[in-house]
Amino acid sequence: MGQEIDLMANYPKTKRDVSGRGHTKTPEDRAIARQFGKAFFDGSRDTGYGGFSYMPRFWQPVIPDFKAHYGLDSTSHILDIGCAKGFMLYDFQQLIPGIQVSGIDVSEYAIEHAVESVKPHLLVGSAVELPYENNSFDAVFSITTLHNLEEDDLAKSLLEIERVLKQRGKSFITVDAYRNDEEKERMEAWNLTAKTMMHVDEWKAFFKKVGYTGDYYWFIP
């Protein structure tokens, strides 16, 4: 198994009204959000982002850490699982000229509205059955995505990451997690789409059981 490492340390932090969000979210809001359509990306804050637009201040500070940790350069081929509109992959293109990028997302809406330079490299599909050959990628990333799957499918998705990597261990994922009861309560209030949330120790045990060899970190609001 890989290591617990915060490769998202330079991603800008936003102030979140976690308790307020928990009081206003309804089962209907969560059902709409889990369709991952326009309402999720570009609708109201009740059902998602409230507008999902490219801003370089988010991913550009993070890419150098990804680059250094995984030794990425212009000859590398990377995959983003849950790529949405391709913003992270676009910044990879900007900061590592020549790098080959691929992305997959369940959202037809997100892919249709992706960054134009990235769009030819994106597919609509599921993390449970990646449409790529074995040993295709130098690194695989999945940021706050895989927890949207039920546990059995999440396990399959981790094995799919292992399958498509050229070298085991060259992956990084973040998932919804908590370390104590207070964080668990906040996570349950904040969550719109996740179907699998665990204590960090449960996640580590799960990764080991499944056979996931990559790196990981947590999203904790």
pLDDT per residue as tens digits for the range 159-208: 999 999 999 999 999 999 999 999 999 998 888 999 999 999 999 999 99
CA quadruple 186, 181, 13, 113: dihedral positive or negative?
negative
Report the C-alpha gap between 61 and 216 in whole angstroms.
18
What pLDDT shows up at residue 33? 85
**32 part of a folded domain:** no
| 192, 151 Cβ separation under 8 angstroms | no
**197 part of a folded domain:** yes
Task: Supply the CATH number for residue 106's domain.
Answer: 3.40.50.150
Give 108-150 pLDDT, tens digit per residue: 999 999 999 999 999 999 999 999 999 999 999 999 999 999 9
**Whether the predicted model's global pTM rises above the 0.95 cut:** no
Burial profile 22-37: b = 16 or more Cβ within 10 angstroms, e = fewer: beebeeebeebbbebb
Burial profile 96-128: b = 16 or more Cβ within 10 angstroms, e = fewer: beebbbbbbbbbebbbebbeeebbebbeebbbb
Q: Token pair of 196, please?
A: 């699998």
- pLDDT of 5 higher than 80: yes
**23 part of a folded domain:** no
More confident site: 171 or 221: 171
What pLDDT shows up at residue 16? 57
Q: Token pair of 208, please?
A: 């080991």
Cα-flanking dihedrals φ and ψ of residue 105, to 5°? -155, 150
Report the C-alpha gap between 1 and 120 in whole angstroms.
33
State the Cα torsion 45-119-69-72 to the nearest 10°.
-170
**15 part of a folded domain:** no
Annotate 114-156 with three-state secondary structure.
CCCCCHHHEEECCCCCCCCCCCCECEEEEECCHHHCCHHHHHH
pLDDT band for position 13 (cuts 50, 70, 90):
confident
**13 part of a folded domain:** no
- pLDDT of 97 higher than 60: yes
**202 part of a folded domain:** yes
Cα-based angle 73, 75, 79 (whole degrees, multiple of 5)? 80
**26 part of a folded domain:** no
Residue 198: CB partners within 8 Å, gap ≥ 6? Answer: 175, 177, 178, 206
Domain that holds residue 183: 58-219
**67 part of a folded domain:** yes
The kind and range of the H/E element at 44 are: none
Q: Structurally, how many domains does the chain consist of? A: 1
